[in-house]
């Protein structure tokens, strides 16, 4: 989604969103990492390679392709990520990383960025609250007419299909 600034502290925040634009994952990052991400998002070239350019170039020269980045854990308000590399000979390496560095590299490599279900559940916020509320109401309407016998019929259908 992009970079924002925390209005209270002035700290940069990288904001990732899902494909549907329904959830956003804000991650507070450092200024240098925000600058690297902005350069990638806006395709700003520098006279000399920046750190993320250097890492990307080294991986390529050694025969590695960055295939994906995963934001894979959230603990005590700290996010964790991994960089997935595949060597030209086929072996895979998963490298521990700060999310901000992993995101900058993923943007450089045009690689997808994923988040685990735990991170999505614990770290994301809704960006479409009207749609969320409509879905909750539709579910409430569906559930209010359910009877225990509905589940018995459902379970019978499952058992007969096995």
- Residues 96-138: pLDDT tens digits? 999 999 999 999 999 999 999 899 888 888 876 666 566 666 6
In a shared domain, residues 79 and 43: yes
| Domain of 143, in residue numbers | 129-162
Digit-coded pLDDT (tens) for 8-41: 998 999 999 888 878 899 999 999 999 999 999 9
Confidence (pLDDT) at 135: 60
In a shared domain, residues 122 and 146: no
Domain total in the chain = 2
In a shared domain, residues 147 and 85: no
In a shared domain, residues 110 and 157: no
**How far from chain centre, in Å, is Cα 1?**
11
In a shared domain, residues 67 and 91: yes
In a shared domain, residues 95 and 138: no
In a shared domain, residues 123 and 141: no
- For residue 23, give the nearest of 139, 137, 136, 122 by alpha carbon: 122
Q: How many CB atoms lie within 10 A of CB 5?
A: 11
How large a percentage of the chain has pLDDT more than 90? 62
User: What is the pTM (predicted TM-score) of this model?
Assistant: 0.76
For tokens 């000979």, what's the residue? 89
Compute the distance between CA of residue 106 and CA of residue 118 in angstroms, rounded to an integer. Answer: 21
How large a percentage of the chain has pLDDT more than 70? 80
CATH number at residue 11: 3.10.690.10
Specify whether the CB–CB gap between 136 and 70 falls below 8 A: no
In a shared domain, residues 83 and 21: yes
In a shared domain, residues 80 and 116: yes
In a shared domain, residues 102 and 135: no
Whether residue 88 is predicted with pLDDT greater than 60 in this model: the reply is: yes
Whether residue 4 is predicted with pLDDT greater than 80 in this model: the reply is: yes
In a shared domain, residues 68 and 114: yes
Exposure string (b/e) for 46-75, b if CB count within 10 Å is 16 or more?
eeeebebbebbeebeeeebebebbbbbbbe
In a shared domain, residues 79 and 38: yes
């Amino acid at each position: 989604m992009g970079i924002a600034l925390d209005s209270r502290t002035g700290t940069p925040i990288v904001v990732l969103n899902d494909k549907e634009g329904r959830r956003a994952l804000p991650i507070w990052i450092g200024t240098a990492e925000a600058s690297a991400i902005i350069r990638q998002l806006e395709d700003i070239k520098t006279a000399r390679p920046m750190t993320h350019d250097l890492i990307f170039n080294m991986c390529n020269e050694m025969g590695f392709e960055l295939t994906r980045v995963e934001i894979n854990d959230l603990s005590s308000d700290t996010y964790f990520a991994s960089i997935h590399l595949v060597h030209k000979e086929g072996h895979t390496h998963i490298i521990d990383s700060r999310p901000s560095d992993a995101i900058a590299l993923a943007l450089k490599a045009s690689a997808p960025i994923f988040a685990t279900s735990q991170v999505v559940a614990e770290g994301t916020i809704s960006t479409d609250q009207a749609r969320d509320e409509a879905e909750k109401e539709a579910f409430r309407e569906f559930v209010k007419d359910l009877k225990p016998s509905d589940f018995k019929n459902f379970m019978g259908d499952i058992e007969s299909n096995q």
